[in-house]
Amino acid sequence: MLPSAESLSSRLKLKQLRLLVAIDDYGSLHRAADELALTQPGATKALREIEATFGNELFVRTPQGMVPNELGRCVIRYAKLIQTDVDHLVEEMEGVLTGTGGRLAVGAIMGAVSGVLVDAIARLRRKQPSLRIEITEDTSVRLLALVESGRLELAICRLSVARQPENFTYTLLRDEPLAVIAGPGHPLVRTPDLALSDLMEFGWIVYPRIMPLRSLLEREFKEAGLPLPANPIETASLTATMLLLQGNANLVTLMPRDMAAFLIEHKLAARLDIDVRSRTEPYGIVTRRGTSLSAAARLLVTELTGED
């Protein structure tokens, strides 16, 4: 029988979680005990207590050492998250007590990284050079999940994809203009007044179906009376997109204009002369409703909005 969350909270100790992580790291209870300055009998007893708390064994004893079973891998994954949270707690406490330093975890969709976040982070770092900043780039869906779970303090993304938008607060930042680009050697780079029909014979790199920009591209083709080109390459990775454009002169893609401008400036891509009629939903700052932002997060919001 699995224990309740209340039972785990009252019985588990941080040092026990550290022991689980150490056993996983070293594959040996003896080496894990040495790492944590425990005696061998003490480590053995502690592991028995941990497994009794969970009501199940967490490791398989093999000739190669101790290997976590499926439940053990699950527990160890969360043990590592808890250890990370404790480290982050210490960093944020330092920031609170000293007025400098600390930690900030922020997420952004790809267009917002180049559109607003990078410049805001640069200004913030000049004011708080000892602040530790972690940036996560991902889809709006995933960023919202990270904000809701507390892994990110704020995200710059779209709120429309949230299943429960009432769980968040939202501050509008800006629209996201789009551009169609290709590799510098694409045969239509210098052709004026292109239409989508001119690009049907070329390969496309498109966003995954869960992303708003994919829906927008499909709408563009539908309004033009055209099907989405067959066999597109699906990716949300800027790195993959950039390398694909470099490696194949016949590929094209749709992306945020700010990011496209960066690639064009560095001669990694070229813009095609085609008008994108559809407009994307603006993006903004999303935080979890009912929580207070840290001093570092409030400073970043100020840099993003330009408001004191």
Q: What is the DSSP string of 150-188?
A: TS-SEEEE-STT-S-GGGEEEEEEE---EEEEE-TT-TT
Specify the number of domains making up the chain.
3
The reply to whether 193 falls in a domain is: yes
The reply to whether 91 falls in a domain is: no
Count the residues in the chain: 308
Q: Are residues 126 and 184 located together in one domain of the fold?
A: no
Domain, as residue range, for 300: 100-175+282-305
At residue 94, the pLDDT reads 74
Q: What is the CATH number of the domain that holds 53?
A: 1.10.10.10
Q: Are residues 265 and 223 located together in one domain of the fold?
A: yes
Residue where a domain terminates, one of 26, 47, 79: 79
Per run of 10 residues, the mean pLDDT along the chain (length 308 residues) is: 82 91 93 92 93 92 91 91 82 70 88 93 92 92 92 94 93 93 96 96 92 90 93 93 94 94 94 88 94 89 88
Q: Are residues 10 and 52 located together in one domain of the fold?
A: yes
Q: Are residues 248 and 210 located together in one domain of the fold?
A: yes
* DSSP H or E stretch at residue 49: helix 40-54
Phi then psi dihedrals of residue 22, to 5 deg: -65, -40
Q: Are residues 166 and 235 located together in one domain of the fold?
A: no
At residue 279, the pLDDT reads 77
Q: Are residues 298 and 152 located together in one domain of the fold?
A: yes
The reply to whether 187 falls in a domain is: yes
| pTM of the predicted protein model | 0.69
- CB under 8 Å to 16, separation ≥6 — which residues? 46, 49, 50
At residue 101, the pLDDT reads 62
